[in-house]
Amino acid sequence: MQAQALQPNHFAHLFGGMVVEDALKKAEGWNLKSRVCHPLDCPNRSKRSADLAKFDASIDNDLDEETAAEE
């Protein structure tokens, strides 16, 4: 009979409170700044190039024409 290789338990840290507490104590000294980015919430259209805007408009127009032709 072959011995099975041990698989790491990826959820072990959820049950070991001391491991989590130790990690939090170490992390306190890192002084990391948190930042939340939402790039799709409000796109900055002022930085778009004129060529890109023209290309986007042409695709939108093509889709509108195809949709109208199918109806």
The answer to the question of residue 21 being in a domain is yes
The pLDDT value recorded for residue 27 is: 82
Do 20 and 13 touch, CB atoms closer than 8 A? yes
Count the domains in the chain: 1
Q: What is the DSSP letter of 11?
A: T
The pLDDT value recorded for residue 42 is: 66
- Cα distance from N-terminal residue to C-terminal residue, the chain: 68
Amino acid identity for residue 27 in this structure: A
Residue 31: count other Cβ atoms within 10 Å of its Cβ.
6
The answer to the question of residue 3 being in a domain is no
pLDDT digits (tens, 9 = 90+) for 17-45: 787 788 878 888 888 788 887 777 766 66
The pLDDT value recorded for residue 7 is: 67
The answer to the question of residue 28 being in a domain is yes
The answer to the question of residue 67 being in a domain is no
